[in-house]
Amino acid sequence: MRPLLTSIIFSALVVAASSGCRSKPEVSVIKVGRSRVEATVSSVNSGTVKAEQVAELAFGTVGRVKELNVKLGDSVRKGQVLAQVENEDLISRLDYTKQELERAEKLSKSSAMSQSGLTQAHAAFDAAVIGYEKSLIKAPYDGIIAELNLEVGQLSQITAIMTQAPIRIVDFSPRYVRAEIDEVDLPKIKVGFPARIKILAVRREPFKATVRKVVPFVSSIREQDRTSEIELSIENEEILLPAGASADVEVIIATKDNALTVATKALLGRGGSRYAYRLESSTAKKTPVEVGIFGYTVSEIVSGLSEGDEVILPSDKVELKDGLLVKPIR
């Protein structure tokens, strides 16, 4: 009896194991439908928000800082005096040469001074003006103080190379973005193409932009990551974007409305050998497809699938193969 009982138990276990092996794996399915599809090119790394004008300002003479009239982040106007060094002697010289010039002009009118004397008076006054102007830092245009490395009492030096600009100013013009793209994408992008730019320092929603320049040059500074530069104008939303902020760039190189599409993640294979697993009566059918415009989220289907077809989404839990029986989860 014992051998018979053992045989019965073993047979039952084999049947149970076989039944478990034949259980259908669960898979997620989606339908092929119609939607807008975009082909895009993204920057290889974060781009940078740039100002149209950036000026590094310094004194043109040696001296101790007497006045500092701005703070970091202040808005300033063209011609505004931002800082000055001790310049009493320069002011005195300017006043003296101005008086001498006025005297020379009066004498010249009465022929009591020669033309050369008048010319010398003009030259002396002009030199005094230049000397005085070198003791000042003025705003070259309307803008914002973006960097300030200056304090009252600090000794200002004249050096060929400045490690830090005493004052840096950026203008109020609409910002633009400079970004790098992979060299293989260079022929795909043209001036005028629309783009989306995310600047997380401002908000999560992307800004609309347009490609304004494509630099036809490939940088080989990084041997394994050769890139080209592009510049993009950002659509004016009356927001002064912070210069220097990082920007994620996505250029739209092609679009099509009402295209036959499927989620890009449902497509497998590469190049001209793309395929998907179509669901047919609970069976996975490997189906070759021809792909048109494709993007990160959806891809256009040129042939191989029809509207309404259900397609299986690949999963790490299920190894899809042609003819596999599955349990669809919709």
Task: Report the residue count for the chain.
Answer: 330
Confidence at residue 111, expressed as pLDDT on a 0 to 100 scale: 79
Identify whether residues 180 and 159 lie together within a single domain: no
What pLDDT was estimated at residue 17? Answer: 44
pLDDT for 224 equals 75
241 found inside a domain = yes
Distance of alpha carbon 100 from alpha carbon 118, whole angstroms: 9
Residues 146 and 186 in one domain: no
Does residue 312 sit within a domain?
yes
Task: Give the residue among 320, 323, 276 at the shortest CA–CA distance from 301.
Answer: 276
Residue 133's CB is within 10 A of a number of other CB atoms, namely 15
Report the CATH number that the domain containing residue 122 is assigned in CATH.
Answer: 2.40.50.100
Residue 156 lies in a domain: yes
CA distance 287 to 302: 13
Residue 121 lies in a domain: yes
Cβ pair 311, 266 in contact under 8 A: yes
Domain boundary among 109, 138, 171: 171
> For the domain that residue 30 is a member of, what is the CATH number?
2.40.420.20
Instruction: Please report the pLDDT score of residue 250 as a whole number.
Output: 95
| Residues 6+ away with beta carbon under 8 Å from 175 | 49, 50, 51, 52, 234, 240, 241, 243
pLDDT of residue 236: 81
164 shares a domain with 69:
yes
Last residue in a domain, options 255, 275, 308:
255
Look at residue 19 in the predicted model and tell me its pLDDT.
Answer: 43
pLDDT of residue 225: 82
Q: Residue 53: its pLDDT value, please?
A: 95
Domain count for the chain, please give it: 3
In a domain, 14, yes or no: no
Per-residue confidence (pLDDT) for residue 22, from 0 to 100: 58
Flag whether 302 is in a domain: yes
Cα separation, 9 vs 17, whole angstroms: 12
Query: What's residue 4's pLDDT?
Result: 47
Tell me what pLDDT residue 178 has.
Answer: 97
- In this structure, the answer to whether residues 62 and 146 fall within a common structural domain is yes
In a shared domain, residues 94 and 240:
no
Note down the domain range covering 281: 24-37+257-329
Q: Is residue 135 part of a domain?
A: yes
Q: What pairs with residue 277 in β-bridges?
A: 286
Within-domain flag for 10: no
Q: Which CATH number fits the domain that encloses residue 46?
A: 2.40.30.170
To the nearest 10 degrees (0 to 180), the angle between helices 88-109 and 115-134 is: 160
111 and 187 inside one domain: no
Do 284 and 320 sit in the same domain of this protein?
yes
Domain boundary (171, 200, 228) is at: 171
> What is the structure's pLDDT at 157?
80
- For residue 251, give the nearest of 293, 296, 197, 329 by alpha carbon: 197
Whether 68 and 165 map to the same domain: the answer is yes
Shared domain check, 268 and 199? no
Mean pLDDT by runs of 10 across the 330 residues of the chain is 48 45 85 95 95 94 95 96 95 94 88 85 94 96 95 84 87 95 95 96 95 93 85 90 95 96 95 94 96 92 97 94 94
In the sheet with 81-85, reading across from the earlier edge strand, the strands are 136-138, 81-85, 63-68, 155-156
Q: What CA–CA distance (Å, rounded) separates 277 from 321?
A: 8
236 lies in the same domain as 292: no
The reply to whether 270 and 167 lie within a common domain is no
Residues 164 and 63 in one domain: yes
